[in-house]
Amino acid sequence: MRANIVAGNWKMNKNISESKQLASEIVSAVSQLSLNNTRVIVTPTFVNLSGVIAAVQDSSVEVAAQNMHQAKSGAFTGEISAEMLTSIGIKTVILGHSERREYFGETDALLTEKVNTALENSLEVIFCFGEVLEDRKNGNHFNVVKSQIENALFHLSSGQWSSIILAYEPVWAIGTGETASPEQAQEMHAFIREIVRNKYDQEIADNVSILYGGSVKPSNAREIFSKKDVDGGLIGGASLNAEDFVSLVKSF
């Protein structure tokens, strides 16, 4: 059975003391819950990873990284390798977030390299993709999403898909207050599951978790997460407040 997942992407927010405090508050609240096949993941910035790992120790809360470089090592000032992440206990990494694509020029070709490197280092990948508003208005959103998934992931073997989590993020809904309707989210998630099934098989399609990201908050999470093919969320702003974030976990 595929897992439900609530993953908080803290982006470039919170210093080390704030990050540890937020993590501790989440751990305290989550420890009171029956998670029912739900994974809880937080992703602080690189410099705060070790501190947050210590703060969640011996709890069910997992810590992931927001990004990584595709090379094993080398003269890449300011970058972080997969081996560096695994050496401090990181097991999951976000790749392909729309902000990485938009602000840092990450392409499908580059993301293919990053995915390969992550899997070679036994890292689980939360792979992000999604259309901009113009694509949605032009009715091109299905083609864009299909292309992003095909280009970066469809070279993988069937076995490698056990290390893939998909995260659909309509770019027009990230940080804007706009949210795809639950029906729009379900429509796209069903489409994603179908193209995976067509490329691979029903078992892989049924087992891959597909998250929704884009202004998910306590007031709309339950309705979105209730949809058949929506397996949780990659959460931005609402993940920066423990009460809000844990209320999303309670939405299952």
Residues with a known catalytic role: 97, 169
Q: Using an 8 Å Cβ cutoff, are 201 and 161 in contact?
A: no
Q: How far apart are CA 118 and CA 113, in angstroms?
A: 9
Other CB atoms within 10 A of residue 16 CB: 14
- State the CB neighbour count (10 A cutoff) for residue 222: 14
**Which of these, 130, 193, 187, lies nearest to 161 by C-alpha position?**
193
* Element housing 4 (H / E): strand 4-9
Bin 59: left if φ > 0, else alpha if -120 < ψ < 50, else beta: beta
Q: Which two tokens stand for residue 159?
A: 């076995």
Number of Cβ within a 10 Å radius of residue 166: 24
